[in-house]
Structure 1
Amino acid sequence: MNKRQAEILRIVTRQGYATIDALAGRFDTSHQTIRRDIIFMDHAGLLQRFHGGAGAVDGRVRPRYDDKRALALDAKHAIAAEAARRVGEKMTVFIDVGTTAEALAQCLLPLRVGCRVVTSNLNVGLALAGHPTIETVVAGGTARTRDGALVGPLAIALVEQFSFDYAFIGFSGFDTDGAPMDFDLDKVLVKRAAIGRAATAVGIIDASKYRRQASIRLAEAVALDQILSDARPPAALADALSGAGVEIILARRAALSAVESCERSNP
């Protein structure tokens, strides 16, 4: 590594994540130069390359999407089943990107509730396509990551046309004041649009997110109405969320039976 690359590695290791924009400004060089540095260090196994930046190599900050699908399965299934029970007749709901959101779509499959699902997630759209009672609206936009996220002005414009009874939002961690945080600005902008159009904004996260921070504040803590998770947050975070008026709801593990029956009927 040259001196700049060594410093980039130090920054990413300390922060957990750094954007190409921030690094280019820090070193007064081009985005392309930083991108080449990141590619070199990713190939060397020193850090992880992501769209728009780089993350720590140990995977604790931002696991690869394919790895996420195998993490905390019981927790995600319980959260998804709990969320699905909130979807009622004639509701319009938004389902975000992520593996818990995909589990939520699977939980909706056996239901015969006449509702509308709006999503910026190709995987959710494909899972619900052709459902006899659920109208599925998939945002347009650019799909550039393996999680099926649709981003950009087209996705935001479509989301802003609706009023949602619930917006089920995933994210990667919390700031010290309880604000939800994520890594990808393009995805964050779509999430913000959905939260802004929702009567009830629900964070759907497993307990592994409680002790993480990401690089972008998604919204202030007060923008969320509820956190739906599998365990209570640490005391400091619980106090911050309570002070912001966020209700913490624990998914019942009994909800897994609904998911298991769903998976059996939709292998």
Structure 2
Amino acid sequence: MPPEAVPGPDPALAPRQAALLRLVGEQGFGTVEGLARRFGVSTQTVRRDIIALTARGLLQRFHGGAGPAGAVRLGHAEKAERQREAKARIGAAAAARIPPGASLFLDVGTTAEALAVALAARSDLRVFTNNMQAALRLAGPDGPAVRVLGGTLRGADGSLVGGEAVRTLGGLALDIAVIACSGFDGTGAPCDFDAEKIALKRAAIAAARQAMLLADSSKFGRAALERIASLHAFAVLVTDDAPRGALAEALPPTSLAIARSTDAGSP
């Protein structure tokens, strides 16, 4: 009996739409801005493609992008609950690696918020962030000096994006840039979905003497749309379990800090 045929792309789809559909299926989500950059077209063109593919039941449209049909994009509260204990351990371990008197950039994301909780009593620090959720966790009479980078509000996670924040970072000389990510590519490089957030991450890395990467182990098997930077741009990856695959091969042992349940808070 001949092998079962594998269905090919819908012949009624334009080549770009078929490629967009395949990419979103592989990555799990795509932002309008990231897809426009990927395919070299306008955001309006991508929005039209997403609307057309959603109308045919092939994609699920979300605010700012699209996911596979039937997907449910997690909100900020749901993300905060996922890997909650692991993120708390990562936050404590990362905090232990930040020296007294340091100036740092703190990225957006629920893992970065866990670090903010761990730094809430570090009055010796100066923190620059585009993460309003983290800024609120750092607020208090015994907390660090906090400067919220101005910009446009992007989503319920309280993230701020835009040229104003990028320009501010360009004028700073920071000790540490603490960066979060949504996944890793085939070379082990950290990736994310939102082009404007990625621009801030890159600006922070350029403004700092060293960069620290935060990622819980659920990110190891997940891809995202665009590379943030080479893995070698980071002095250390703070996580909750040993990485696998390309990430494990690319990461020197000296650049890995694992915050397991038995050693939370250790560097």
- TM-score, scaled to structure 1: 0.80
Unaligned 5+ residue runs, structure 1? Answer: 259-267
The SS at the match of 2:251 is helix
1:182 to 2:195 alignment: no
Give the structure 2 partner of residue 77 of structure 1.
88
Amino acid at match of 1:131: P
Does the 8 Å contact 2:153/2:159 carry over to 1?
A: yes
- How far the C-alpha of 1:3 sits from its partner, in A, is 4.1
1:111-153 superposed Cα distances (whole Å, 9 cap, x missing partner): 2441111111111122223433511011001112111111111
The SS at the match of 1:253 is coil
Give the structure 2 partner of residue 253 of structure 1.
261
Alpha-carbon distance in structure 2 between the residues aligned to 1:235 and 1:32: 37
Give the structure 2 partner of residue 49 of structure 1.
62
Amino acid at match of 2:78: D
Does the 8 Å contact 2:58/2:68 carry over to 1?
A: no
Give the structure 1 partner of residue 234 of structure 2.
224
- How far the C-alpha of 1:20 sits from its partner, in A, is 3.7
- In structure 2, the CA distance between the partners of 1:235 and 1:106, relative to structure 1 (3 Å rule), is same
Does the 8 Å contact 1:45/1:57 carry over to 2?
A: yes
Which of 189, 192, 204 does residue 214 from structure 2 map onto?
Answer: 204
Alpha-carbon distance in structure 2 between the residues aligned to 1:191 and 1:42: 34
Amino acid at match of 1:248: L
Give the structure 1 partner of residue 110 of structure 2.
99
- How far the C-alpha of 1:29 sits from its partner, in A, is 8.3
Q: How does 1:74-223 map to 2 (within 5 A)?
A: 74-109=85-120, 111-223=121-233
RMSD (CA atoms) = 3.3
- In structure 2, the CA distance between the partners of 1:2 and 1:232, relative to structure 1 (3 Å rule), is same
- How far the C-alpha of 1:161 sits from its partner, in A, is 2.4
- In structure 2, the CA distance between the partners of 1:89 and 1:28, relative to structure 1 (3 Å rule), is closer
- In structure 2, the CA distance between the partners of 1:101 and 1:25, relative to structure 1 (3 Å rule), is closer
The SS at the match of 1:169 is strand
1:2-52 superposed Cα distances (whole Å, 9 cap, x missing partner): 94498454552244344546767999987446425535728969425242x
Give the structure 2 partner of residue 261 of structure 1.
none
- How far the C-alpha of 1:68 sits from its partner, in A, is 1.1
- In structure 2, the CA distance between the partners of 1:107 and 1:14, relative to structure 1 (3 Å rule), is closer
Unaligned 5+ residue runs, structure 2? Answer: 1-9
